[in-house]
Amino acid sequence: MKPFEFRPAQGPWSTGQSWLFVCAVPDLAADRDLAALFGDCRRALDGFPIVPVADEALRVTLAQVGDAPAAQIGAGEREALLEALRSRLREVRPLEILAGSPLAYATGALCDLEDEPLQDLIGVVRSVIRDLRGPEADTFHPGVTHLTLGYAFAEASTDDLARRLRRVRPSHARMRIEALHLLEVSTDPAARAFRLVPVGAVPLGQR
């Protein structure tokens, strides 16, 4: 395991800019088993050079508005994106996915997620971004979906972390997704964290 680069030499985070992302945000007040799983995972990370992700920063990234930094996307453009998402997501019912198992990763720890339902949702969101802002805005390809639990700030044994996380029981919990969130995301290298500013939320299946 190696440190996560919050200010890499290249890429969008190297400039200190913020970007708009569409994310699913866990409701830990409602999904108590999920909150318990994340709490157990944080305790498992204790003693490793990993900064756990705070509750308010937990999210599943589905898509990025990648054609311009957030500072260049005004209030009218943001509302247009939210309205386009509202129009398309009226046809998408709320869903429930399985979160787990927690896994050691090359730069920290993550929670694996039931991927297929999220990939369908990602397809809808990315098509909205392309239709509204052009193909150049659809720059983020999330691959297998996950939720990051913590970011490493020094090297450590990934095998040791994997053994610790494997002892977390129960290792799975249900995560209900009833809305998607447009977030302005930036990095805070000093805190070794991402900062999220809510822009708007779009309910699923609301007519």
Structure tokens at 107: 């730069």
Residue pair 68/182 in contact (Cβ under 8 Å)? The answer is no
pLDDT more than 70, % of the chain: 100
State residue 130's pLDDT score. 97
Q: Could you read off the pLDDT of 132-143 as tens digits, one per residue? A: 999 999 988 878
CA distance 202 to 112: 24
At CA 188, angle to CA 184 and CA 191, rounded to 5? Answer: 135
- What are the tens digits of pLDDT across the range 173-182? 999 999 999 9
Write the pLDDT tens digit of every residue in 16-64.
Answer: 899 999 999 999 999 999 999 999 999 999 999 999 999 999 999 999 9
Q: Is the pLDDT of residue 207 over 80?
A: no
Q: Contact at 8 Å (CB) between 97 and 113?
A: yes
Is residue 92's pLDDT more than 90? yes
